[in-house]
């Protein structure tokens, strides 16, 4: 299969999702060794889970399919440019390449606008709209100290 075939599948997933009423117009597929190993559709409204974006759903399914928390040597095809949350998840999953159809500007035109999140990330914590306060750092550091000396940790 060619990259265009994988993108067509991601787009097909997004269209089917709209037609089924299960969520927003977003789909994603994850490919390893020229085979689709996972598909994901936006399930935010049907699952009452704001993190159930197509890319995250696909990442979870792909990790389950291969039995690993890293998707090294896998590519993701998204019907739309990933939002900040999905982009972060893609980086954490260690995917190799991202291919997308619609742009974030296309999404904004149908009222899926994440620009305010991009802007918030750039602001100092004290200037963000969502009040953010640090509490109990010394107590919280205990877990980090234990992690740094643990023989049981699996680094990622």
Contacts of 83 (CB under 8 A, 6+ apart): 53, 104, 114, 117
pLDDT of 155 strictly over 90: no
Task: Give the lowest-confidence range in 23-27, 90-94, 131-135.
Answer: 131-135
- CB count, 10 Å around CB of 125? 11
Angle subtended at Cα 69 by Cα 65 and Cα 71, rounded to the nearest 5 degrees:
70
In this prediction, residues 75-82 reach a mean pLDDT of 98
Which of these, 95, 94, 66, 63, lies nearest to 78 by C-alpha position?
95
Which listed residue (55, 81, 119, 122) is catalytic?
Answer: 55
Whole-number pLDDT of residue 4: 96
Whole-number pLDDT of residue 91: 98
Contacts of 56 (CB under 8 A, 6+ apart): 40, 85, 86, 89
* Annotated catalytic residue 55: yes
In this prediction, residues 101-126 reach a mean pLDDT of 94
Provide the β-strand partners of residue 77.
Answer: 29, 99
Whole-number pLDDT of residue 154: 82
Whole-number pLDDT of residue 153: 83
């Amino acid at each position: 299969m060619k990259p265009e075939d994988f993108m067509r599948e991601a787009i097909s997933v997004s269209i089917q999702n709209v037609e089924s009423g299960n969520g927003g117009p977003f789909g994603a597929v994850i490919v390893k060794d020229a085979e689709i190993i996972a598909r994901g559709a936006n399930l935010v409204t049907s699952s009452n889970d704001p993190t159930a974006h197509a890319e995250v759903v696909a990442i979870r399914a792909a990790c389950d399919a291969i039995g690993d928390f890293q998707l090294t040597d896998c590519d993701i095809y998204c019907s739309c440019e990933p939002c900040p949350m999905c982009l972060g998840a893609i980086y954490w999953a260690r995917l190799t390449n991202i291919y997308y159809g619609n742009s974030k500007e296309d999404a904004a035109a149908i009222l899926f606008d994440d620009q305010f999140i991009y802007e918030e990330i750039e602001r100092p914590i004290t200037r963000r709209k969502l009040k953010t306060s640090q509490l109990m750092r010394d107590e919280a550091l205990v877990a980090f100290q234990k992690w740094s000396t643990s023989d049981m940790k699996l680094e990622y």
